[in-house]
Chain A
Amino acid sequence: MNNEAIIIEGPQVAHGHTAADHHGHEHHEQHFIWKYIFSQDHKMISKQFLITGIIWAIIGALFSVLFRFQLGFPDTNFPFMESLLGEWAKGGKLSPEFYYALVTMHGTILVFFVLTAGLSGTFANLLIPLQIGARDMASPFMNMLSYWFFFAASVIMLISLFVETGPASGGWTTYPPLSALKEASLGSGVGMDLWLMGMALFVVSSLLGGLNYISTVLNMRTKGMTLTRMPLTIWALFFTAVLGVLSFPVLFSGVILLIFDRNLGTSFYLSEIFIGGKALPHIGGSAILYQHLFWFLGHPEVYIIMLPGMGMASEVLSTNSRKPIFGYFAMIISLIGITLLAFLVWAHHMFVTGMSPFLGSIFVLLTLLIAVPSAVKVFNWITTIWRGNLRFNPAMLFALGFVSLFISGGLTGLFLGNSALDIHLHDTYFVIAHFHIVMGVSAFFGMFAGVYHWFPKMFGRYMNNTLGYIHFFITFIGAYLIFWPMHYEGIAGMPRRYYDFSAWESFKQFQSINGFISIVALVVFLVQLLFVFNYIVSMYKGRKLTTQNPWGSTTLEWTTPINPGHGNWEGDVPEVHRWPYDYKDNGEGGDFIPQTTPLRPGEESH
């Protein structure tokens, strides 16, 4: 069924949809292909993103388990590795080449395919129309294209895992010249070309999605849904899209220039190189240029990953504390601050590249400045739960875990953002610990909070709580057990991306703790599989919803039918009369007032 097939009777939402023939929720059998595959329903597309994201997450996490085996037990052979990886793990011992390929693809997959597409793609698609009161996205067709470009990027990336010379292995940042020269490493062969093609398609997908999210939020809000009545999830997803639209094209240009350097003999990034027994003709390029282009996306990318989690945690914390989010406007202003500053801090990844120290000092200042809006958000979350009535369902636990991890990971950012400290900590395990806690685990916690909270909206069923609790406690404790010791290793100078430390007098004493970390990582990985299992089984066997609004939430998505059709609302799109956080006495014994309830006489709007 196509989007124009929705009758829109509600005000404000009508423009843009001219041809209309029937309701989305009618008992009109759609063909399987149009309903589940080339669907233009934002809810279906969001499920497609989520399920593709879950598949990628399993692959990406499995890679980390495989290379953790090497790091934890460098002297042990694991025969199962050989049966899984063949030549890459002869005799059960991972080869260095493939170790680096696994590290690279673990980063690429989780940063881009899971925490960007899987996270924004899922929740921007699901929540934007539902929470602002729109029938669908501004352009459902573009939305569908966004998914299918992502799918194409996924296929190419997946193929790259199986080519003879292996996938890209120059780190997820793929710095040239290492990534530009086939002589420099096996992974810089055809695997790298596929990586670049995959990323180019990924950028297209991300732009199509992002433009759609922005125009939907700006143009398609229902009557009464002013910008300052939007839930913080929408604000966060909106700024996520803005960040993506403004920064992904820069990555695209960086990727294209790298393709030129690799295949067409240009010298954008290459200069004065002697490799493979001969001097290359390239002169005058700058390897640092690529880093600037990469990190101009790369840093906003961190916030592209973080903001949706921030928005969803705000929503989940408020709902399950039965209290309004504290400092709604401060939350929006801090989101704006983070979005602006996100574009002005990229070179803090490059303090030790030989960049001018003066330039470095400007980036120190701007980087530490971004701690201020982040701190405001943390204090506001904590004040939100103060004197609340906390319901600890799995979504709430993950939102609380998100806050805890965001604090821990954010504070270590103060070390790395300060160039005088970064000069020692740069590219050590301290960095690994920092970014895994703050944008890896923490962002995942935001995502889990979202999945547990909105699963009933997606499938009309609940996920199992007991499994959710097991998932939370083991993941939370495991995350700290894995990454806390890594801070120490990093302070001791232990470099990241090392295949084996046994030859190093300064780092070999950490062997047994590395083994411990690997074991915990394996356990945490298995628990994530348990989550996936819970997810899949609950889709079909989960407890059915009997009420439209299971969490007692104020926002619009809970005014739709339990299993909304394409078009979301039967009849008119509801009108909005108040802000989204009126968790207070409704005068009839309830403890919340939905956004659709008109103000009572004498009641002041927020």
Chain B
Amino acid sequence: MSGFIMISLIILVFVIIYQIGKASEYAAILRGEKKVNAQVNRAIAFLLVAMFVLGLWGIWECHNYFKDMMLPVAACKTGERYDAMFNTTLVVTGIVFLLTQAILFWFCFKYQASDKRTTYFFAHSNKLELIWTTIPAIAMAVLVGIGLRNWYEVTSPAPAEATVIEIVGKQFNWLIRYPGKDNELGKRDFRKINDANNVLGLDWSDPHNSDDIIAQNGEMHVVVGKPVKLVIGSRDVIHDVGLPHFRMKMDAVPGITTTLWFTPTITSDSMKIITKNPNFVYEIACDQLCGKGHYAMRGTIIVETQAQYDKWMASQSSYYATANPAAAPAAPAVDAKDAPAADTTKVISMK
């Protein structure tokens, strides 16, 4: 009923507005259409300019409103490059934006219809076309140049000393696996997945798996100043590891392994001071629609010093031990010396 009243009310308002519009149409005819049209035209030209000026003010206000809500400084080297490039692009596009919009609205005002003016028949000019083909082309070339330099840096292979951490998406949380003492992630197979005691489908016949640690609370620990390489996978649908504070993201695609690496430069504790927010936390946001719980697929990253990290790591027990409490003692011991310290993820099917 209330819906019906609402709709009737809206229609009633429309009818009234339409009647006013209609009345002004008749009034124009009575008062001499040519004159009224000229008045309206002048009013509109004025309104367009007013709108432009108000728009500039609005941009300023909007900027002030958001100033303190934006992301803090980038928390990794490539992120700093990212911000610099972003600002360059913003300046280039900002200038073009202001100039073209200002000219557009200024022309609207300046060249509003007038009986006195005869229009200038100006159909083409190869010189002008050449100028405004070349200048954007050069500007684009510069932006592409900066972009590709940064792109190849971000997507370059991770340094050999990088810590390897696997992050696997599932509806609707992140599973994080550390290679353990042997520094090597063991094989896994989606057919061996079992939500009770093998969430990632680790192949227990692979000894590298026996010391792997899996965090199911979506909390990832990394060491400040040390490159970290994420090996990204998915159990079910496509997810995306979004790291806004590090200015990067990468899809997690079932059947394909993707990677992402960065060197965190600011610990979580320092960031709490920088942002003056005691609750600050680096967040991992799923950035690819993955179903009804997509918006709640949250992970966190704790960036800490080596000492804090070692302490935390020492408190973790292997997934094999936690998933098979009884069998834990029987877990094959891993000999530290066959575990190369180098980054080796070749055991995981790479594509």
Contacts and interface: CB of A to CB of B under 8 A. Distances in A.
A533 B83 CA distance: 47
B280 A505 contact: yes
Which of A169, A400, A498 has the most CB atoms of chain B within a 10 A radius of its CB? A498
B71 A321 contact: no
A529 B14 contact: yes
Given A327-B129, A354-B250, A361 B148 contact: yes
Contacts of B89: 414-415, 418, 421
A271 to B, nearest CB: 3
A178 B295 contact: no
Contacts of A68: none
Given A368-B144, A415-B86, A504-B298, A382 B14 contact: no
B133 interface: yes
A424 B247 contact: yes
Which of B22, B236, B290 has the most CB atoms of chain A within a 10 A radius of its CB? B236
Contacts of A412: 93
A253 interface: no
B253 A503 contact: no
B140 A287 contact: no
B283 to A, nearest CB: 5
Which of B85, B108, B123, B170 has the most CB atoms of chain A within a 10 A radius of its CB? B123
Nearest to B290: A178
The secondary-structure label for the interface of chain B is: helix
Interface stretch (B113-121, B218-226, B311-319): B113-121
Interface in B257-294: 257-258, 277, 279-281, 283, 285-294
Nearest to B191: A279
B345 interface: no
A500 B295 contact: yes
Interface residues on A, range: 35 or more
Which of B150, B151, B191, B257 has the most CB atoms of chain A within a 10 A radius of its CB? B151
Interface string B90-126: 0011001100110111011001111001111111110
Interface stretch (B43-51, B158-166, B178-186, B330-338): B43-51
A2 interface: no
Contacts of A403: 104
Contacts of A275: 171, 235-237
A493 B195 contact: no
A326 B107 CA distance: 15
Contact of B253 (A353, A408, A469, A499): A353
Given A96-B295, A414-B89, A330 B124 contact: yes
A364 B18 CA distance: 49
B120 to A, nearest CB: 4
Given A326-B124, A388-B111, A506 B238 contact: no
Interface stretch (A137-145, A179-187, A201-209): A179-187
Interface stretch (B55-63, B204-212, B320-328): B55-63
Interface residues of B, number: 120
Contact of B51 (A357, A427, A477): A477
A45 B62 CA distance: 45
A578 B115 CA distance: 27
A423 B148 CA distance: 12
B100 A324 contact: no
A432 interface: no
A459 interface: no
B128 to A, nearest CB: 7
A390 B287 CA distance: 46
Interface string A369-387: 1011001101110110111
A254 interface: no
Interface stretch (A46-54, A218-226, A483-491): A483-491
B144 A364 contact: yes
A499 B25 contact: no
Which of B155, B191, B289 has the most CB atoms of chain A within a 10 A radius of its CB? B289
B6 to A, nearest CB: 8
A329 B124 contact: yes
A492 interface: yes
B255 A352 contact: no
Interface stretch (A8-16, A57-65, A119-127, A460-468): A460-468
Given A186-B292, A392-B112, A530-B14, A279 B144 contact: no
Contacts of B86: 415, 421, 491
A286 interface: yes
Contacts of B150: 420
Contacts of B140: 368-369, 371-372, 414
Contacts of A392: 40-41, 44-45, 48, 108, 112-113
Interface of B: 2-3, 10-11, 14, 17-18, 20-22, 24-25, 40-41, 44-45, 47-48, 51, 55, 58-59, 62, 65-66, 69-71, 82, 85-86, 89, 92-93, 96-97, 100-101, 103-105, 107-108, 111-114, 117-125, 128-129, 132-133, 136-137, 140, 143-144, 146-152, 154-155, 170-171, 190-191, 193, 195, 201, 232, 235-238, 240, 242, 244-245, 247-251, 253-258, 277, 279-281, 283, 285-296, 298, 351
The 4 closest A-B pairs by CB, nearest first: A493-B244, A271-B255, A466-B21, A354-B258
Given A80-B2, A389-B113, 7 more contacts: A389-B111, A420-B148, A421-B82, A428-B287, A493-B242, A505-B280, A509-B69
21 contacts: A170-B289, A273-B254, A288-B253, A327-B129, A353-B258, A354-B351, A365-B148, A372-B137, A376-B136, A383-B122, A385-B107, A392-B41, A412-B93, A420-B150, A427-B249, A428-B287, A488-B62, A491-B71, A492-B69, A504-B283, A506-B285
